[in-house]
Amino acid sequence: MLATRLGTLQLTNPVLSASGTFGSGWEGREFSDLSRVGGLVSKTVTVKPRPGNPPPRILETPAGMLNSIGLENKGADYFIPESLPKMKQLVGEHGRVIVNIGGESIDEFVELAERFTAAGVDALEVNLSCPNVQEGRLLFSTSPQMCERAVAAVKAVTDVPVFAKLSPNVTDVVEIARAAAAGGADGLTAINTLIGMAIDWRRQRPVLGRGIGGLSGPAIRPVAVRMVYEITRAVDVPVIGVGGIQSASDVLEFLCAGAAAVQVGTAQFADPALMVRLVEDLERELAGLGRSVGELIGSAHPEAGPATPGQPAAAGASAQERR
């Protein structure tokens, strides 16, 4: 009932962690049994260590938060021996280990893909789109040609599925999605954070140390749902939906929009055991509906057939359902 797949990658259930919101899972190990989630996606790993951006790095905003962490991580030389074995241990036999890689050039993407393929991962997620770094990497998320080249270069050196994480900070996300698919992406992760800013008018300065940051949380959920819907209607590649998920109801919304799996991010800051609870709640909801995950994927698309008769879910219902 819960099983799903992303290309050739089989998942026991559609719930994954979103990159950069759960480390490598180790810090969350005491709060729930992480072998029950579909998989863990690592925080972005770069070739060289990155200390990250100056504080303050986060701010809560209405129904969301801004962050400008700046890909703080100790680099692949640290991650491969120290963190990757822990991820494998946490997810056990059935959960998937997906490593998110961030290159500043095609060469770096290739190097990371080669090293992680050799180290053994179930899939790679290519971070085309972190808004919090200054280098020319922005081009990978905004230029269809650069996006296609980066994905194709990674695909050429690995035999594991490759997912491209897309930025919402573009005029036409479908155009970029098509480019990633043309580059051979086995899946698309949509979406990364929306670029935002908050200003402390008393100090007349931006609140965050770096000025701008990425907006996440329930505030961006409708944007993410819309983009998942648009992409999956136009591109024949599985999509992982991410943006503001807090409840099983939100997961179901993304599935109906067309996502084959989802990632949980900001909400697990507030509740470290959230992913496992979502798996349990989702199972109960689906049993009530008498439907499987596979049957719901894309079911809101007009071509998927008539709507299920029943009460429409009240707007904001999922917010009230939360514990």
Partner 1 sequence: MDGPIPVTGPGQFYMLRTPTRWPVLLPRPFSLYDRAPDGSWGSFLLKGVGPGTNALLDVDVGEDVLVTGPLGRTFPADIEDPVCVAGGVGLAPFLLLARAAKANDRPVRLLFGGRDRAALAGLEDFEPIARVATSTDDGSHGHHGLVTELLERMIERGEVRAGETVFCCGPDPMMHAVAKLCERRGLRCFLSLETYMACGYGVCNGCTVEVDGERFRGWPYSKTCLEGPVYEACELVELRS
Q: What is the DSSP letter of 26?
A: G
Binding of partner 1 at residue 198 (CB under 8 A)? no
List binders of partner 1 among 304-323 (CB under 8 A).
Answer: 319-320, 322-323
CB-wise, 214 or 258, nearer to partner 1?
214
Kindly indicate which of the ranges 60-68, 159-167, 177-185, 195-203 contains the residues binding partner 1, using the contact rule CB under 8 A: 60-68
Binding of partner 1 at residue 277 (CB under 8 A)? no
Kindly indicate which of the ranges 4-12, 48-56, 187-195, 306-314 contains the residues binding partner 1, using the contact rule CB under 8 A: 48-56
Binding of partner 1 at residue 211 (CB under 8 A)? no
Binding of partner 1 at residue 206 (CB under 8 A)? no
Alpha carbons 305 and 310: distance in angstroms, whole number: 15
List binders of partner 1 among 117-156 (CB under 8 A).
Answer: none
Alpha carbons 83 and 105: distance in angstroms, whole number: 24
Alpha carbons 213 and 206: distance in angstroms, whole number: 10
What residues have CB less than 8 Å from 42, skipping those under 6 apart? 19, 23, 24, 79, 83, 84, 87, 97, 98, 99, 100
Question: For partner 1, which residue of 22, 116, 140, 163 counts as binding (CB under 8 A)?
Answer: 22
What residues have CB less than 8 Å from 291, skipping those under 6 apart? none
Each residue of 20-43: b (16+ CB within 10 Å) or e?
bbbbbbbebeeebebebbbbbbbb
Binding of partner 1 at residue 222 (CB under 8 A)? no
For the bound state, the minimum distance from the C-beta of residue 31 to partner 1, rounded and expressed in Å, comes to 8
What residues have CB less than 8 Å from 34, skipping those under 6 apart? 25, 28, 40, 90, 91, 95, 275, 276
CB-wise, 14 or 244, nearer to partner 1?
244
Report the DSSP pairing between strands 194-197 and 212-216.
antiparallel
Question: For partner 1, which residue of 95, 103, 196, 218 counts as binding (CB under 8 A)?
Answer: 218
Amino acid, single-letter form, for residue 18: A
Question: For partner 1, which residue of 59, 84, 162, 262 counts as binding (CB under 8 A)?
Answer: 59
Q: For the window 2-21, what string marks contact with partner 1 as x by the rule CB under 8 A?
A: ------------------xx
Each residue of 167-178: b (16+ CB within 10 Å) or e?
bbbbeebbebbb
Number of residues that bind partner 1 (CB under 8 A): 38
Question: For partner 1, which residue of 143, 272, 283, 291 counts as binding (CB under 8 A)?
Answer: 272
Amino acid, single-letter form, for residue 284: R
Q: Which residues contact partner 1 (rule: CB under 8 A)?
A: 20-23, 27-28, 31, 43, 51-52, 54-60, 62-65, 67, 69, 72, 74, 217-218, 266-272, 319-320, 322-323
